[in-house]
Structure 1
């Protein structure tokens, strides 16, 4: 029986990624568009990392987490876009079975790392605004490192669980994925064996992992909003809002698109959802450096110093 299961599973050795469009005339324009977005993402996030590392005034917990968020965004986008670019110029838009599961693993591991880092940044802002007298001791370097370690390790355990459960399924009919990446919902639709365990795990463990950081962020910002409204000085309110505004913008962009895609029944998952997937997989990572630099005076100064140093 074990050998029979292995033979059935291995009958699908590769998947076909249909991508964003099947029309040949669309492939080169899409290649140019996503190559440009990818290069902007890499450049923008590298500049954020270099600016933070080179400016002593940016050696704070907020920017410590931001530098790792930028690094995670680079890795996250690199997991997805290069394969898309290859498929845009290839007639045979395939990905191996092992390659598909590997891509899915890193998408979920890095995507949830992003989520945990955003929660850590929200907690940092909460401590800075709501409890400034204990900020230095609460957000010590040791605790920041522990938060970072958890943010990076726990998502890998979560991702490994779902990847191993998916690997137990049998794919013996169609191998065509109506998506530009190996996402769990389109893959579950292709299975010709029961996905009951996968569905239950997604609705329980998966939902907890997705929603918990968002609830932490929501709680932090509700407390921040309450504290800011108590500030009598208009200048003080503006400073507090400008400090949190960029982070809150990133949170809305990231979680809004994720909830749209994943908080719906598997049966209602359509091709339209892949367009929304672009927002949190590609667009969010590209826009993060602009959001943080354009709405943050400290980052503007840090980037200015970096660019001035490079010119000289």
Structure 2
């Protein structure tokens, strides 16, 4: 495990539970470059995904079941941007871990759920594209709005189950990073 001044300021130099090397990148000039990059990605990501949502909702010809899947993915991407990036910027600005309060934990849970949903929705999008390419004449009968809604719902339900299960797991939870960080940072700091 690498130790440096940033790790020492967190009281984690003697902790063997985690590799805290990524905290090094909150030092200047990397911090400022990351903040600019995050701001640019947020503006481009939110504007681009909002443009997709507005275009599909305003143009009648684009309101297809397949585009509903893309809109679901765009919504998940927006949620990821607005939940993760502000916390990352605050972390980079102050250069120290965020408080392990309920708000931090809820926001990060939303982010991780939407990240899982973004991964899950790729399968329905692939199925939709498969039917559109392989059976274009049967596509509208096969991929109905109800079936698309079911695929979106199942993808979201799977994402929620994936995130809730580790929270119920207790002491052996290694899947939910904020849960682990909030649980072990005070313990690592108190061992000195």
Unaligned runs of 5+ in 2: 1-19, 186-192
1:279 corresponding residue in structure 2: none
Q: How many residues align?
A: 165
Residue 141 of structure 1: how far off its partner (Å): 1.2
8 Å CA contact 1:49–1:70 kept in 2: the answer is: yes
2:159 corresponding residue in structure 1: 155
8 Å CA contact 2:66–2:148 kept in 1: the answer is: no
Unaligned runs of 5+ in 1: 1-15, 171-181, 192-312
Q: What RMSD over aligned residues (CA atoms) do the two structures have, in Å?
A: 3.2
Distance 1:102 1:17 in 2: 25
8 Å CA contact 2:35–2:92 kept in 1: the answer is: yes
Runs of 4+ that moved beyond 6 A: none
Mapped pair 1:169 → 2:163? no
TM-score normalised per structure 1:
0.46
Distance 2:171 2:104 in 1: 14
Deviations for 1:176-205, whole angstroms, at most 9, x for unmatched residues? xxxxxx7379759959xxxxxxxxxxxxxx
Distance 1:142 1:71 in 2: 19
Query: Among residues 59, 68, 71, which one is paired with 2:72 in the alignment?
Result: 68
Distance 1:35 1:131 in 2: 42
1:27 corresponding residue in structure 2: 31
Deviations for 1:25-83, whole angstroms, at most 9, x for unmatched residues? 33222211211111111111101111111111211122111111111100012221110
Residue 152 of structure 1: how far off its partner (Å): 1.8
Distance 1:61 1:17 in 2: 45
Give matches, 1:6-17, under 5 Å: none
Query: With CA pairs under 8 Å and 6+ residues apart, which has the higher RCO, 1 or 2?
Result: 1
Query: Among residues 177, 180, 184, which one is paired with 1:183 in the alignment?
Result: 177
1:106 corresponding residue in structure 2: 110
Deviations for 1:115-135, whole angstroms, at most 9, x for unmatched residues? 222111110111112223321
